[in-house]
A and B are shown apart, each in its own frame.
Chain A
Amino acid sequence: MSGTFLGMPTAPPRGTGNIRGSEPFPAAARTELGNAQLRRNVGKATRTIRDKRIAVTGELPDWEELRSAGAAIKRDVLSRLPDLLEQFEQAVTARGGTVHWARDAAEANAIVTRLVRGTGSDEVLKVKSMATQEIGLNEHLADEGITAIETDLAELIVQLGADRPSHILVPAIHRNRAEIREIFLRAMPGVDPDLDDDPAHLADASRRFLRDRFMRARVAISGANFGVADTGTLSVVESEGNGRMCLTMPETLITVMGLEKLIPSYADLEVFLQLLPRSSTGERMNPYTSMWTGVTPGDGPGEFHLVLLDNGRTATLADEVGREALHCIRCSACLNVCPVYERTGGHAYGSTYPGPIGAVLTPQLAGMDTGSGDPNGSLPYASSLCGACFDACPVKIDIPSLLVELRHQHVEQAGFDAEQALMKAASAAMASAGRWTAAQRAAQLGRLLGRGGRIRALPPPGSAWTSARDLPVPPKRTFRQWWDSAEGRAAIERARREGGAR
């Protein structure tokens, strides 16, 4: 996005990067639904994590209160984000870190590239990070001649497989171990050619591969799960310990953090460090929690840079209803319970953020450009509104209501089309009982379409229904016709007497 400043207040810019798919959700979903292996892999994995999460959240007597506390802290952060960001910047700077502000993906990528270049290194280690995926950092660095190596096992599988992540927490959830073995044999330098698909052996192979890189790395790039405003502390939460290696071994550490990851004080970590692991991996506590504040001479990286990323977040914050999506702590619980995600997997969403939260966050960050058939405009509809995501979310984001709100915004922005005409006609027909009964009589003509009480084929758009399901033939009489009939009156009278006799 070009930053021509015209001296007038403008709407905050929308985000750019990997937050827009190439085709609408229904089309992308159809492709993924055809992949039986993917459906089995994703279904099995989500079911396992789902059950574990329910077990460990059920253990805490105050789980609901914790969720409310998490939501309240996030609401507080968003209500005074500018002040907290300033406080945060001062705290980081005071402890020897350097803060950079990035409006969009291009700016963030340019800042990181410049910083890496400054170290003289052409190789960087990566800690799994959603923010850097969102801005497409690895691809950008590759174009600039810098090799980025992912150190999270699942992320490494995706990287070596020249694939895209399909889950927030388990990016390679769509792969099984036979596929992973194949990827390693094909793409991992120096791998043992006799490698089998035992998970321990696969993990061991990746460990050998990464150890080398850890020993020689001079620069690492991380994301952040939390940034603490009053102390300037950053935190990364992980399972494997590879992240900790990256955060401590290199000379220079660059962290890219979305603006909304801020929490007011150190004490608030207590709430989120309980909510996050239980919601994401179904563990009581994650194995590794790293925290660092600026730089400490003789201990850890000597140089620390923090890139604070907007990329559509300010625009999202401006939406009074939709800003709730910024509460998200990326635990992925909503993905694991979503029946749509379970069937289609993450790629169908076309964005770094898949699943229910992605369906809300992606169009908010990047916009829906509704006139142009933007795939992001299809995302708010990629849900049956079953509500499972709301129940699972540790910070109580009302995703179904947000989806409905975004659908409203989409319709308000979109031009006139066939669907709108239908909806307007239906609204007019239902606005009064007189017109409604006339419409019902017309519907009863539908009786002509059916045989044996069932309609098996309809013209479009009804054909989408009859592709897999019958439709009942409209009955001879509507309810209100029965109610108004002598027979109806007699039946009600009889029921009254029966009840009285009981």
Chain B
Amino acid sequence: MRVALFATCLGDTLFPDAIQATALLLSRLGQDVVFPEAQTCCGQMHVNTGYQREALPLVENHAACFADESIDAVVVPSGSCAGSIRHQHEIVAERFGRPGLRDQVVRSRAKTYELAEFLVDVLGVVDVGATFPHRVTYHPTCHSLRMLRVGDKPLRLLRAVREIDLVELPEADQCCGFGGTFALKNADTSTAMLSDKLRNVGATDAEYCTAGDSSCLMHIGGGLSRLQTGVGTKHLAEILATTERTIAPKQGALA
């Protein structure tokens, strides 16, 4: 299958390891991975902050990039960006778009999948051949959980990882307090939510907290780092892309 990778603006710029891991994982699973160079951002930050007008050029650019018929599927290693593409692009296109944009948006949306969805629903794999000898806890992220309804797909993928010690996160379905610009506009409330999440992560004694969204991990990881907990964060893709070969020489060999 010809699979286009949508790196997301945040992943491309700040968390390339997660996107590299996605590209390597999909390649290893036999997919023909392509990266449409014209891609930038899905516009989620703009829409969620109220700037639908400003999101329009981003939605246009995204749709033009991925509606292409030569692409069989678009994979996004981010629950919130996949959610935005699925639920918000059409709203923006209908409200402000030129005629025809809506159709383009609908076409791109129909083949867009969040990573765990793509692996389990489209490729039909649960065991991706990963090995990760660490204690890990999984945070489901609100948009994966409630906007995309990925359910336990990420957990099924993680359970199939060799040598992993997967521990349940208490109050897992509680929001970490990120919420995009919410973390800036309501910094005090966001921090109060984050501190409860950090306490719960701490209670698991995990070495890594994982999730399907770099943005939530940036928030949780930023808190873990500030408190100098020594607990790390890793995107789900990074764990799934780790094989015995990649572990052996040294940590971070993916970079």
- The chain A residues found within 8 Å of chain B, CB to CB, are 25-26, 29-30, 33, 39, 339-340, 343-344, 380-388, 390-391, 401, 404, 406-412, 419-420, 423-424, 426-428, 430-433, 436, 440, 443, 454, 456, 461-462, 464-465, 467-472, 474-475, 477-480, 482-483, 488, 491-492, 495-496, 498-500, 502
A431 to chain B, nearest CB (A): 4
Cβ-based interface call for B38 (8 A)? yes
Q: B175 is contacted by which of A29, A384, A432 (Cβ under 8 Å)?
A: A384
Scan residues 192-228 of chain B and give those whose CB is less than 8 A from a CB of chain A: 192-195, 218-219, 221-223, 225-226
Q: A436 is contacted by which of B9, B25, B184 (Cβ under 8 Å)?
A: B9
Cβ-based interface call for B112 (8 A)? no
**A470 close to B48 (CB less than 8 A):** no
Cβ-based interface call for B28 (8 A)? yes
Contacts of B57 in A (CB 8 A): 427-428, 430-431
B3 to chain A, nearest CB (A): 12
Question: Per-residue 0/1 for B1-27: is the Cβ within 8 Å of any A Cβ (1 yes, 0 no)?
Answer: 000000101011111110110011101
Contacts of B27 in A (CB 8 A): 492, 495-496, 499
> What are 19 of the A-B contact pairs (CB < 8 Å)?
A340-B189, A384-B182, A384-B190, A387-B143, A404-B50, A408-B47, A427-B54, A431-B60, A475-B16, A475-B17, A478-B13, A479-B12, A479-B13, A488-B20, A491-B20, A492-B33, A496-B27, A498-B245, A502-B28
Cβ-based interface call for B104 (8 A)? no
**B218 close to A29 (CB less than 8 A):** no
**B189 close to A474 (CB less than 8 A):** no
A278 to chain B, nearest CB (A): 20
The docked-state distance in angstroms from the alpha carbon of A385 to that of B45 is 12
**Most B CB within 10 A of own CB, among A388, A430, A483:** A430
The docked-state distance in angstroms from the alpha carbon of A436 to that of B189 is 32
List of 6 A-B pairs having minimum Cβ-Cβ separation, nearest first: A384-B179, A469-B222, A407-B50, A387-B146, A386-B175, A411-B50
Contacts of B52 in A (CB 8 A): 408, 411
Write the chain B residue with the least CB distance to A501: B28
**B40 close to A433 (CB less than 8 A):** yes
A386-B146, A468-B226 known; A431+B189 contact, CB < 8 A: no
**A343 close to B49 (CB less than 8 A):** no
**A383 close to B179 (CB less than 8 A):** yes
Write the chain A residue with the least CB distance to B176: A384
A432-B38, A432-B61 known; A26+B24 contact, CB < 8 A: no
A390-B146, A430-B9, A498-B28 known; A468+B191 contact, CB < 8 A: yes
**A388 close to B183 (CB less than 8 A):** no
**B186 close to A499 (CB less than 8 A):** no
Q: B185 is contacted by which of A26, A391, A471, A492 (Cβ under 8 Å)?
A: A26
Contacts of B177 in A (CB 8 A): 339, 384
- The chain B residues found within 8 Å of chain A, CB to CB, are 7, 9, 11-17, 19-20, 23-25, 27-30, 33, 35, 37-41, 43, 45-55, 57-58, 60-61, 87-88, 129, 142-143, 145-147, 173-175, 177-195, 218-219, 221-223, 225-226, 243, 245, 255
Q: B193 is contacted by which of A26, A384, A472, A478 (Cβ under 8 Å)?
A: A384
**B50 close to A410 (CB less than 8 A):** yes
Query: How many Cβ-Cβ contacts under 8 Å join chain A to chain B?
Result: 219
Apart from the given pairs A381-B186, A423-B49, 8 other A-B contacts in the complex at a CB distance below 8 Å: A384-B177, A384-B179, A410-B50, A420-B51, A470-B226, A471-B222, A479-B12, A479-B20
Q: B58 is contacted by which of A343, A385, A431 (Cβ under 8 Å)?
A: A431
B116 to chain A, nearest CB (A): 18
**A482 close to B9 (CB less than 8 A):** no
**B54 close to A404 (CB less than 8 A):** no
**Most B CB within 10 A of own CB, among A424, A474, A477, A496:** A496
Write the chain B residue with the least CB distance to A384: B179
**A343 close to B192 (CB less than 8 A):** yes
The docked-state distance in angstroms from the alpha carbon of A470 to that of B220 is 10
A407-B48, A410-B50 known; A382+B186 contact, CB < 8 A: yes
The docked-state distance in angstroms from the alpha carbon of A411 to that of B14 is 28
**B30 close to A478 (CB less than 8 A):** no
Q: A340 is contacted by which of B19, B47, B186, B194 (Cβ under 8 Å)?
A: B186
**B53 close to A381 (CB less than 8 A):** no
**A443 close to B13 (CB less than 8 A):** yes
Contacts of B145 in A (CB 8 A): 387
**A339 close to B174 (CB less than 8 A):** yes
A211 to chain B, nearest CB (A): 43
**Most B CB within 10 A of own CB, among A386, A480, A500:** A386
The docked-state distance in angstroms from the alpha carbon of A29 to that of B189 is 7
Write the chain A residue with the least CB distance to B218: A472
Contacts of B47 in A (CB 8 A): 404, 408
**B193 close to A492 (CB less than 8 A):** no
A442 to chain B, nearest CB (A): 10
**B14 close to A495 (CB less than 8 A):** no
The docked-state distance in angstroms from the alpha carbon of A401 to that of B49 is 12
Write the chain A residue with the least CB distance to B47: A404
